[in-house]
Structure 1
Amino acid sequence: MIRTPLRPLARILRAREKGENPDAIEAANRAHRHAVIQDGARRQARSRLSLIAAIFAILFVAVGGRMAVLASSQPSEPRMQVSGAQIISQRADITDRYGRVLATNLLTHSLYAHPRQMVDPMGAAEKLAEIFPDLSVDRLKQDFSGKRSFLWIKKKISPEQMQAVHDIGEPGLLFGPREMRLYPNGRIASHVLGGSTFGKEDVASAEVIGIAGVEKAFDRWLRDPANDGAPLALSIDLTVQAAMEDVLSNGMKVMNAKGATSILMEVKTGEVVAMASLPDFDPNDRPRPLLKGDPSDSPLFNRAVQGQYELGSTFKIFPVAQAIDLKLVSPTTMINSKTPMKIGKYLIRDFHSYGSQLSVTDIIVKSSNVGTVRIAQLLGVERQKDFLQKLGLFEPTPLEMSEAPTGKPLVPQRWPAVTSATVSFGHGLAASPLHLASAYATIANGGKRVRPTLVHERSRQEGEQILSPGAAKTALSLLREVVTRGTARSANVEGYEIAGKTGTADKPRPTGGYYHNKNVATFASVFPVSDPKYVLVLTLDEPSTMRGGGESRTAGATAAPVAGEMIGRLAPLLGLRPLVEKPLPMVERPLADAIKLVSN
């Protein structure tokens, strides 16, 4: 850039010749120079402002566009993009049908150590062993003196334990916040709930996952943030469940049984109102599974769902109901009941000799094996198998529990005449008590298939018609006769119109054959029979009681009186009022009185 001189010599000389002041020329040139400089600075400032405005405009458009994209996207998209969402999301509560909490979350802390930051690791190990007696002081000293820089000590601790660790004053002992699963009712409904444990975890949080029962079956739903913390409402009634477990526990003790289970189900909906299995456990302190031996010896074993039992004479109503439906017999039809009955090289016997003929009604009332086999022969193998399959006795129950698929019935691969005979009175086919409850609910439901569920008020399709309503009603009337004058008289509770069937089956040996002194006693019932609302199935594993001066293991002497006591206890809780019935002959119930004494 060529600068113009402020006092150009030629102009100065001309100004002097004319007598003008030369300083005016300098002042004019100086003013012109300043004007040029100001114009340049003004243009440069405008350029910078324009650039800044353009940058702000671009940023505004970018942010606005991103906000518009987020506003128009689905809620699940941002959740899926957050890798830590599952570990910090709260697990939904589980409640009973009335909203009472069965499982919830509790804020607690974990305890971990940084051994390299510890001032007195040996002293800390000794004090920790005093606070947590299950910890080994030698193992703690070994871990604290080793090369490890991080060590879990306890995954969850109580506030009292946390304060005690605080008082140690060791900077290398640290706490992490987390939520733990709490079951406020302890052992009640433990097999239904199952239990939970920690999955993904770090020092600041931990993921709670289900490991059994409904906790595992609904694990994804319970952890899904899209549910906005809504609880899972089960069909269980907490009050009824607690009463059932109390009666079942006392009955199990009185009958000297090694295990017991019972199921209460609504006839119309299939909703399980209560389900118990003994021995049980506390899901807050879930025991370890057995690694060897009989799985049923573990308290974790759910006898109601996983137990595969030959359920004995409770099956006899199935061929009889089917034969009535097909109009092959009626309740008054007389059937050859002469015992023993020979099929091939096998003999079928009755517990007592009932003469040469019995009516269909008395076959059920007196529980005649021979009479039941005669009726099954009228049906034929294929029709018998088809009916049992429609009742759901060939497949696992659809119950919403992780254990349900493991309870698949043990169905004979071959079905010769002798198998058809034994299955008709409950031997040779092993199913769970829940299968039996569903089958009895189907009969009580006017012959429409009932599938069990643990979810309250879930919409479901109506079951298919398996039996005609007339045949189903007739079958119920036969079961009522069993309670009023048959093998289940000890289960009768005045005013509640109980219908049911006892079943006693010898337990099979692992090596083949059957035990002669070990059996499973079952009572399957429906009440009230005039307007069926509930099905109750109760099973005792290896019961034994003294009766009539000797030992008895039959269901009529063991399972039936316990079931009668249970119905008498549960019916008022279910809102059922006693009906005025025709007085029945008095039946001595010393065993039920004994159950009451244990309960009191």
Structure 2
Amino acid sequence: MIRTPLRPLARILPARARGENPDVIERENIRLRHETMRERARERAQGRLVLLALGFCAGFAAVGARMAVLAASEPTEPRSAPATAQIQAQRADIVDRNGRVLATNLATHALYAHPQDMVDPVRAARELARIFPDLDAEKLQAQFTGESKFVWVRRKISPEQRQEVHEIGEPGLLFGTREMRLYPNGRLAAHVLGGAGFGQEGVHSAEVIGTAGLEKALDGRLRGLEDPAELGRPLTLSLDLTVQAVVMEVLGAGMKLLNAKGAAAIIMDARTGEIVSMVSLPDFDPNDRPRPPTSGEPSDSPLFNRAVQGVYELGSVMKIFPVAQALELGLVNPDTKVNTKGPMTLGRFKVRDFRNYGPELSVTQVIVKSSNIGTARIMSEIGPVRQQAFLSTLGFLEPIPLEMVEASGGKPLLPRKWGDIASATISYGHGLSATPLHAAVGYAAMVNGGYLVRPTLLKGDAPAQGPRVISQKTSDQIRVMLRQVVTEGTARMADVPGYMVGGKTGTADKLKPNGGGYYKDKVMANFAGAFPMNDPAYVIVVSLDEPVETSGSEPRRTAGWTAVPVTSEIIRRVAPLLGLRPVIEPAPSVALTRARN
């Protein structure tokens, strides 16, 4: 930078020559220099003020724009989720094994209010109470005239209700779109599906989450949380909607006809474990799921799933397991004679049969005639240790895993001391309580060649064969015995021509609450079996709670008069639906004599 001298010689010398004062020239240069410095400082200050003004303008513009956006938007209900959380409103459909819809989503609306925008809040509250009778007009009026800026009115309304609210003409009443879970078949498969409801909610969307049954157990899969690619793909169940409808109809009619308190039925593929039908009555509509009971017996509620939660003594249905174990161990064969002379004394207890079957029966006859004494004698050769191990292998000591949250509640009730007496009573169905699902799994292993199956509500691509629990030979012998129970024994009314039904009846006195002994006139009537027995495809279990057959002179409660006829009608109607062709036995040949003229 070049600085100009305050006393330049070029001006000082001429000024001295003229007799002028050189200091005047210096003062003039100082003045001009100061003016130049002041001008530069002023320009710098003006530039800084301009930049500061522009910064303030930009800041106020940003704040104003954000305020405008917020003013134009609709407020959302405060929620506990983080501000960055996104509401996942989608949920995959559920279909049966043939692709028919069991559960889907339906676009609907929520109703909320901006009280500050209302023209006549009193009238709005009165009209809303008329449209929705369960709402309190005075409470709504207090909310609308108070300090609230946002009020939920209804989280779900029908198209008709939306139109009625729209006709009120109140600008402060607004609608938000959302999806709700719809079960188009109503009560059909209600216990399997369970139900769904709203979780995290906003004005324009709501999280649909499972609340019970399969919807809750597979909530992550249905919401795409485990794999986002699964969200748009329907979940295919093993259920057959047509079979489910038939079982529900027949079981419901049988329940009413026999004055039963409740009923349950399971049809399961004997080789894959796929459950084709599961019904529990009484039931409910998952579109309007009732609240869980707060008092009384759980089984009194329609929410109670008797098929997987109903833990009862199964009665003589259990007799097939000690016989199968004895056959497998080589202790007996189907023709081995068993002492059935009664009563049989066990400590201070006596085991008796329903009627006197004579001094001895073959092992096959023990099953056909359902002898308690014969079964207990066979079990005495096996012993409690081996019995417990065998029942554990079949799954009778733990809840059966299934794609339902309620399945974990089906925990069997076991004896405190598993000694000889408990072993004997368990062998003929008393002293150990389990669910109909336990019976279905056990019977599948008895008739499918001896392989344990894992029950499932999902349609599989290929059968999953479990561990072998009995040999093919033992399984063949068991099938013959179960078939004879239907043709000659206590389940004659279960026979369906062409389908070779086999199975075992079981009638167990019901336990009083809190261990108060047994009821004299209340039973659980069960039938467990399979069809067709020449090549078992399906296992069926039917259970009736406190049935009474009153067509005769005396009331009859045994399974042969109650559960068996219901099972027969179910098989007669569903077997063709399952693709099973009836096997017609050939008629006896007729000898022909050729006549001569």
Q: TM-score normalized by structure 1?
A: 0.82
In 1, distance between residues paired with 2:314 and 2:392?
16
* Structure 2 letter corresponding to 1:552: R
SS at match of 2:139: helix
Partner of 2:176: 176
* Structure 2 letter corresponding to 1:110: A
Question: Given the alignment of the two structures, is residue 446 of structure 1 paired with residue 449 of structure 2, yes or no?
Answer: yes
Instruction: Quickly say closer, same or farther: Cα 1:583–1:467, change in 2 above 3 A.
Output: farther
Q: How does 1:378-457 map to 2 (within 5 A)?
A: 378-457=381-460
Q: How does 1:71-86 map to 2 (within 5 A)?
A: 83-85=84-86
Return the offset for 1:400.
Answer: 0.8
Q: Which runs of 4+ in 1 moved over 3 A?
A: 81-85, 458-461, 581-584
1:545 to 544, 549, 565: 549
Tell me if the contact between 1:547 and 1:557 (Cα under 8 Å) persists in the aligned partners: no
1:248 to 251, 273, 277: 251
SS at match of 1:209: strand
In 2, distance between residues paired with 1:228 and 1:208?
13
1:521 to 519, 525, 542: 525
Residues 380-416 of structure 1: per-residue CA shift (max 9 Å, x gap):
1111111100001011111111111111111223112
* Structure 2 letter corresponding to 1:275: M
* Structure 2 letter corresponding to 1:90: Q
Partner of 1:208: 208
Instruction: Quickly say closer, same or farther: Cα 1:479–1:578, change in 2 above 3 A.
Output: same
Partner of 1:467: 470
Partner of 1:358: 361
Question: Given the alignment of the two structures, is residue 315 of structure 1 paired with residue 322 of structure 2, yes or no?
Answer: no
SS at match of 1:304: helix
Partner of 2:20: none
Residues 71-97 of structure 1: per-residue CA shift (max 9 Å, x gap):
xxxxxxxxxx99444x24410000101
Partner of 1:485: 488
Partner of 2:46: none
Residues 135-156 of structure 1: per-residue CA shift (max 9 Å, x gap):
2323323333333332211111
In 2, distance between residues paired with 1:357 and 1:581?
33
In 1, distance between residues paired with 2:510 and 2:198?
39
SS at match of 2:312: coil
Q: How does 1:28-427 map to 2 (within 5 A)?
A: 83-85=84-86, 87-224=87-224, 225-427=228-430
Return the offset for 1:583.
Answer: 8.5
Tell me if the contact between 1:436 and 1:537 (Cα under 8 Å) persists in the aligned partners: yes
* Structure 1 letter corresponding to 2:217: A
Return the offset for 1:134.
Answer: 2.2
Return the offset for 1:226.
Answer: 3.0
Residues 291-341 of structure 1: per-residue CA shift (max 9 Å, x gap):
111001111100000110100000000000111111111111111111211
2:574 to 570, 591, 599: 570
* Structure 2 letter corresponding to 1:129: A
* Structure 2 letter corresponding to 1:155: R
2:537 to 530, 533, 536: 533
* Structure 2 letter corresponding to 1:226: A
In 2, distance between residues paired with 1:131 and 1:554?
52
Instruction: Quickly say closer, same or farther: Cα 1:135–1:93, change in 2 above 3 A.
Output: same
* Structure 2 letter corresponding to 1:573: L
SS at match of 1:535: strand
In 1, distance between residues paired with 2:569 and 2:231?
43
Between the aligned residues of both structures, percent identity stands at 60
SS at match of 1:184: coil
In 1, distance between residues paired with 2:353 and 2:142?
69
Partner of 2:71: none
Identify unmatched segments of 5+ residues in structure 1.
3-80, 585-600
Tell me if the contact between 2:89 and 2:179 (Cα under 8 Å) persists in the aligned partners: no
In 2, distance between residues paired with 1:486 and 1:138?
69
In 1, distance between residues paired with 2:127 and 2:459?
49
Partner of 1:16: none
Q: How many residues align?
A: 506
Tell me if the contact between 1:494 and 1:581 (Cα under 8 Å) persists in the aligned partners: no
In 1, distance between residues paired with 2:84 and 2:407?
32
Question: Given the alignment of the two structures, is residue 554 of structure 1 paired with residue 594 of structure 2, yes or no?
Answer: no
Return the offset for 1:549.
Answer: 1.6
Residues 47-78 of structure 1: per-residue CA shift (max 9 Å, x gap):
xxxxxxxxxxxxxxxxxxxxxxxxxxxxxxxx
* Structure 2 letter corresponding to 1:568: R
Tell me if the contact between 2:272 and 2:465 (Cα under 8 Å) persists in the aligned partners: no
Partner of 2:58: none
RMSD of aligned alpha carbons: 1.8
Residues 248-303 of structure 1: per-residue CA shift (max 9 Å, x gap):
10010111001000000001100000100000001000000001110011111000
In 1, distance between residues paired with 2:490 and 2:142?
66
SS at match of 1:203: coil
SS at match of 1:191: helix
* Structure 2 letter corresponding to 1:94: I
In 2, distance between residues paired with 1:369 and 1:582?
37
Partner of 1:61: none
Residues 83-133 of structure 1: per-residue CA shift (max 9 Å, x gap):
444x24410000101111110001100011223332222211221122112
In 2, distance between residues paired with 1:236 and 1:559?
22
Tell me if the contact between 2:89 and 2:205 (Cα under 8 Å) persists in the aligned partners: no
In 2, distance between residues paired with 1:432 and 1:582?
40
Name which of structure 1's ranges 127-136 and 464-473 shifts more when overlaid on structure 2: 127-136
Q: How does 1:489-504 map to 2 (within 5 A)?
A: 489-504=492-507
Instruction: Quickly say closer, same or farther: Cα 1:582–1:434, change in 2 above 3 A.
Output: farther
In 1, distance between residues paired with 2:304 and 2:495?
30
Tell me if the contact between 2:88 and 2:223 (Cα under 8 Å) persists in the aligned partners: no
In 1, distance between residues paired with 2:119 and 2:379?
81
* Structure 2 letter corresponding to 1:144: F
In 1, distance between residues paired with 2:89 and 2:198?
13
Tell me if the contact between 1:328 and 1:378 (Cα under 8 Å) persists in the aligned partners: yes
In 1, distance between residues paired with 2:537 and 2:304?
29
Instruction: Quickly say closer, same or farther: Cα 1:541–1:550, change in 2 above 3 A.
Output: same
* Structure 2 letter corresponding to 1:210: G
SS at match of 1:178: strand
In 2, distance between residues paired with 1:397 and 1:289?
23
SS at match of 2:582: coil
Return the offset for 1:227.
Answer: 1.7
In 2, distance between residues paired with 1:429 and 1:583?
45
* Structure 2 letter corresponding to 1:533: A
Residues 559-598 of structure 1: per-residue CA shift (max 9 Å, x gap):
00000000001001111111123799xxxxxxxxxxxxxx
